């Protein structure tokens, strides 16, 4: 990885990770503000400033704290939220509500009410029933609500089936069966309190090719043409989602952002011109791409168990609760022994978590130098979907989150304590 510096201890974003582990304890999530901002700058130079009417919203499900809201706001990006909790975080952080998009396949009445009362910029509607709820709330509040309709374009991405979202058989989006999508469009267009701007799709996560985006765009622009002919609907926006792949292991063929965005913009322009459709504003929603490689997780190695002729297990003081992705969908990671970074990795171990689950394995067959209890392991590319998916399984407290800045390291989420685990419990007898 580009941010590895060859010294005795592994350094991340200019900081000695072994010293960070000593000072703040492990497990420890560590984020680089510089890397996050450099991704935002690439997004601006290669997309927002390059194309007219281009917009971007950070997909906050990847990683969201109030501090992250402040970084995203300062970089001029929008924010994509998918729940009342994420929306509430944005509200408390003072994020501009007109730059917020609310997603979700099963938004509650309360979540929609919160969004509309706080004047979010867009609601991405996932089913026709939702339109009736939005209209009821908007009428009562005397508001006009801008919406996009999420569709299931029938295009799958080349990724794990658990993070493929654009296929026909999906819990997400309005099916493209003519009667179904026409009902949703007609309902939105007839409403006095809803302004339908266009369609949204999301193909999947951590994609390394652009062909699925192009295929979905072809479907959506054809839909825009038909809706224009049948309903007089003129689409003002198209949201192509995110899902751009990042580096996890040497097997990943990572592409620059422009590989995706240039092809997306060309496909939209070409298809619109072919069909005589107005070119809409284009929105993308990168999340993992912005924050994934900006994070690492530091662990302390505990027991080392050798099974002669079979395998050596090195257990760390975290695992499944702070990173469920390997157990959830076989996510793969790379790592180094941070305090022995200058030593040759001449043996192989499997990194196991401490939970009471055989599936609590973080990394299979990692090359390392000789290791022992107390060594520090640094796992790369854990900025996305680690903290945000963390749990208290086995009553293990969640780690702290440390932000590395040019002005020093700053704790942006305190480490949970055992007392925190009990703070909301009540004994009824």
Q: Judging by DSSP bridges, how do beta strands 361-368 and 347-352 pair with one another?
A: antiparallel
Catalytic residue among 253, 272, 355, 356: 356
d(CA 192, CA 240): 27
375, two tokens = 């060594």
Q: Indicate the helix (H) or strand (E) that contains 405.
A: strand 400-405
Q: For residue 69, indicate whether it is catalytic.
A: no
Cis bond before residue 27 (omega within 30° of 0): yes
- Tokens 């690492």 locate to 296
164, two tokens = 């493929």
d(CA 112, CA 115): 5
b/e 389-399 (16+ beta carbons within 10 angstroms → b): bbeebeebbbb
Nearest 5°: the CA angle 266, 271, 274 is 125
Taking Cα atoms as reference points, which of 240, 175, 174, 237 lies closest to residue 204? 240
Distance linking the first and last C-alpha atoms of the chain:
55
Residue 11 three-state SS = strand
DSSP character for 386?
S
Residue 417 three-state SS = coil
d(CA 71, CA 33): 8
Alpha carbons within 13 angstroms on the beta-carbon side of residue 391 total 10
Q: Which residues pair with 314 in a beta bridge?
A: 304, 351
d(CA 92, CA 413): 15
Positions marked catalytic = 356
């Amino acid at each position: 990885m580009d941010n590895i510096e060859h010294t005795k201890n592994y350094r991340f974003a200019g900081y000695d990770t072994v010293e960070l582990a000593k000072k703040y304890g492990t497990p420890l999530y560590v984020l680089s503000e510089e890397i996050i901002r450099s991704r935002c700058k690439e997004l601006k130079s290669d997309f927002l400033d390059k194309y007219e009417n281009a917009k971007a919203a950070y997909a906050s499900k990847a990683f969201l704290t109030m501090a992250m809201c402040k970084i995203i706001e300062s970089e001029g990006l929008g924010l994509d939220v998918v729940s009342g909790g994420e929306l509430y975080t944005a509200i408390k952080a003072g994020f501009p509500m007109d730059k917020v998009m609310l997603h979700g396949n099963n938004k509650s009445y309360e979540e929609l009410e919160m969004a509309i009362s706080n004047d979010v910029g867009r609601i991405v509607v996932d089913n026709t029933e939702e339109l009736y709820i939005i209209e009821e709330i908007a009428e009562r509040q005397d508001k006009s609500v801008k919406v996009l309709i999420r569709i299931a374009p029938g295009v799958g991405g080349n990724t794990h089936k658990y993070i493929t979202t654009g296929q026909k058989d999906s819990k997400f989006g309005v099916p493209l069966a003519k009667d179904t999508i026409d009902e949703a469009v007609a309902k939105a267009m007839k409403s006095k309190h809803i302004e339908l701007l266009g369609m949204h799709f999301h193909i999947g996560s951590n994609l390394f090719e652009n062909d699925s985006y192009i295929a979905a765009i072809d479907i959506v622009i054809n839909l825009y043409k038909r809706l224009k002919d049948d309903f007089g609907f003129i689409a003002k926006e198209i949201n192509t989602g995110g899902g751009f792949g990042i580096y996890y292991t040497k097997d990943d063929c990572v592409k620059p952002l422009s590989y995706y965005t240039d092809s997306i913009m060309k496909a939209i322009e070409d298809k619109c011109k072919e069909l005589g459709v107005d070119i809409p504003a284009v929105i993308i929603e990168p999340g993992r791409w912005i924050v994934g490689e900006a994070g690492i997780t530091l662990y302390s190695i505990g027991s080392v168990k050798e099974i002669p002729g079979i395998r050596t297990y090195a257990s760390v003081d975290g695992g499944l609760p702070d990173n469920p992705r390997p157990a959830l969908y076989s996510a793969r990671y790379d790592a180094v022994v941070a305090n022995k970074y200058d030593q040759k990795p001449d043996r192989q171990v499997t990194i196991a978590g401490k939970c009471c689950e055989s599936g609590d394995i973080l990394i299979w067959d990692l090359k390392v130098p000789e290791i022992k209890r107390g060594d520090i392991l640094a796992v790369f590319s854990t900025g996305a979907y680690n903290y945000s998916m963390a749990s208290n399984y086995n009553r293990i407290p969640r780690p702290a989150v440390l932000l590395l800045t040019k002005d020093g390291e700053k704790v942006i989420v305190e480490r949970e304590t055992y007392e925190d685990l009990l703070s909301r419990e009540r004994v009824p007898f």
